């Protein structure tokens, strides 16, 4: 039982660090205000919304159960479309966690153009 808890903690920490670096780098590249939000776990969603040119009030959708899952799918699809990821990669990135993490790193550090 302790092994699984430790594994979940490692996955959570890796995801937190990865998402923080990705959102900070993208916010920096796009000259967005309040880049520091990238390092506050739940407020990272505000940067996601700013990157995809949505209003900050959409953040409320992340607070509503069930609606938040739909919001994540819709907003991450828009996020990946902005960076010209192909449709199969968008689907895999949303459904399969490791592919999503790698796609985010690729977008932040290797893909330079926005569509």
Helices (H) and strands (E) in the chain, counts: 5, 0
Report pLDDT digits (tens) over 27-84.
999 999 999 999 998 899 999 999 999 999 999 999 999 999 999 999 999 999 999 9
Where exactly are the structural domains of the chain? 2-109
Identify which has the larger pLDDT, 113 or 67: 67
* pTM: predicted TM-score of the whole model, two decimal places: 0.87
Instruction: Answer whether residue 89 shows pLDDT above 70.
Output: yes
Instruction: Answer whether residue 115 shows pLDDT above 60.
Output: no
Q: Which helix (H) or strand (E) holds 70?
A: helix 67-82
């Amino acid at each position: 039982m302790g092994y699984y808890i430790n594994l979940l903690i490692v996955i959570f920490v890796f995801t937190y660090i990865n998402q923080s670096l990705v959102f900070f780098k993208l916010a920096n590249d796009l000259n967005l205000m309040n880049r520091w939000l990238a390092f506050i776990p739940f407020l990272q969603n505000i940067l996601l919304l700013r990157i995809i040119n949505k209003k900050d009030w959409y953040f409320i959708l992340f607070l509503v159960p069930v609606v938040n899952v739909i919001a994540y799918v819709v907003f991450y699809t828009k996020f990946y479309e902005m960076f010209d990821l192909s449709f199969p990669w968008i689907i895999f990135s949303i459904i399969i966690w490791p592919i999503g993490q790698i796609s985010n790193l690729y977008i932040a550090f290797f893909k330079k153009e926005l569509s």
